[in-house]
Amino acid sequence: MHAAAAPMRADPAPRRAEPAPMRAEPAARRAERAEVPTARMPMRTEPTFLAPPPDAGAYGAADAGFAGSGHPGGVMPGLFTPPEVSEPPAAARAEAFAAAGAGAGRPPMPAAHDASQAGPSAGNEALVAELQSLKGMIARQFATVSWFEGVRRSPVQGKLLRTMVSAGFSLKLARSVVSKLPSDYGERDAQTWLEEVLARNLRCAPRAESFEAGGVFALVGPTGVGKTTTTAKIAARHVLKHGAQSVALITVDTYRLGAHDQLRAFGRILGVPVHIAHDASALHDLLRLRGSRQLVLIDTVGMGHRDERIRSLLMSLPRADIKHVVVASCAAQAETIDESLRAYEARQAAGVVLTKVDEAARLGGALDCLLRQRIRLLGVCDGQRVPEDWQAPDGARLVRRALMAPPAGAFALDDEELPLVFGVAAALQGDVSHA
């Protein structure tokens, strides 16, 4: 019995020797941890950040997450980044987004390098344009300053310049005229020279080419410049010389309320027939049946100088049969007068009639437009009386009237303010130095 039990006590000895390798593993692990750098220590202190399963692939590593981590993929940036998914997932994700956008019908996003190439080009063009603008402004300022230095050395030129600008003449015309003044002239001679130069360049129509010679004239111009009153003045003067049977009046102004009634009232006073033409064909018939009428005056509808219907109005009055006369008000601004003369094609017309001379504070602006555009002056109206306030064109008288009535008060121009005015004009108008 005892001999048979002996082998059973020998069995546990080998069983107690088996755990020995298991006790050796912690020692090996401690040795490996001693050799590992300290950068891997967060992996042990943060057991919640888990690496993706080996079969997840690139998308699994990027999209698989740990619940409650609060970050895509369950990995907080900077704490755990698997080395095998550092670069390929970004490229793969970009390709996936591009394919998804193309599949959804959205246009592909432009390449980044195209924007980087277009940006410097547009920026360079803007910089070049800005530098060119700055260069031109500096050149104009220096030209104006150098010109004024020469004027300051000649008090006579400075006085003439101030006189013209104060009278309403443009800076360009004043500078061009004053620069031609002879250097040996005194103040009185310079004033006489200025009046003669302006009067000689102001084109005034002789009597043989004015209304006294007869013909068919259509008075055109903006609203309120006095076309109807001017028509009555011209007709009255012709009636006094040649009789009522030599004049006929026609109105095409059917837009303004009571326009033809006003002209008819003048016709009854003068004993002159007044006809209404509602269209171009009716006007043509009236002109064909005028008979022995020496002078025919046509009163037209007033339109602003920016009205698109001006062209059609001028075309309905053919220049082959009708002479156009543009009526301009001296009481308007010089810029308005200039635009009106251009809109109504005053250079191709028979001439211009200046009205409301008595109401204008400065006549220089109206005369400046006639001088620069080389337009002929047919007559002047300086009041409301019919026919007393009609004057034949006289350039010398108009120039003297314009230069001898400078403005007073806040609109008067001092010597100290003249350089400032020219400096601002050089910056706004541009090429003042070549006036």
Q: Is the peptide bond before 72 cis (omega within 30 degrees of 0)?
A: no
pLDDT of residue 409: 63
- Structural domains of the chain, with CATH: 40-94 (no CATH), 135-204+407-435 (no CATH), 206-393 (3.40.50.300)
pLDDT of residue 66: 39
Chain centroid to CA 128: 21
How far apart CA 175 and CA 198 sit, in angstroms, is: 13
Which H or E run includes 391? Answer: strand 390-391
Whether pLDDT at 1 is above 50: no
The pLDDT confidence band at residue 257, using thresholds 50, 70 and 90, is: low
Which tens digit of pLDDT belongs to each residue from 171-193?
Answer: 889 888 988 988 888 889 999 99
Please state, rounded to an integer, the average pLDDT across all residues of the chain.
Answer: 74
Least confident of 12-21, 123-132, 151-160, 161-170: 12-21
Q: Would you call 202 helix, strand, or coil by DSSP?
A: coil
A 10 A CB-CB count for 377 gives: 22
- Specify the amino acid at residue 231: T
The pLDDT confidence band at residue 255, using thresholds 50, 70 and 90, is: confident
pLDDT of residue 216: 93
Whether pLDDT at 426 is above 50: no
pLDDT of residue 155: 79
Beta partners for residue 379, in sequence order: 353
For 262, the token pair is 């006003």
* pTM of structure: 0.62
**Under 8 Å CB-to-CB from 303, ≥6 apart: which residues?**
222, 223, 309, 310, 313
Strands (E), 242-344: 247-251, 274-276, 295-299, 323-329
Higher-pLDDT residue of 59 and 203 is 203
How far apart CA 254 and CA 278 sit, in angstroms, is: 7
Q: Mean per-residue pLDDT for 202-216?
A: 88
pLDDT of residue 247: 93
Exposure b/e, 42-80, CB count within 10 A at least 16 = b: eeeeeeebeebeeeebbeebbebeeeeeeeebbbeeeeb
- Do the strands 351-355 and 323-329 form a parallel or antiparallel pair, or are they unpaired? parallel
DSSP string, 339-381: HHHHHTTGGGSSEEEEE-GGG-S-SHHHHHHHHHHT--EEEEE
Q: Do residues 250 and 298 make contact, with C-beta atoms less than 8 angstroms apart?
A: yes
How far apart CA 293 and CA 125 sit, in angstroms, is: 67
A 10 A CB-CB count for 180 gives: 8
How far apart CA 380 and CA 395 sit, in angstroms, is: 11
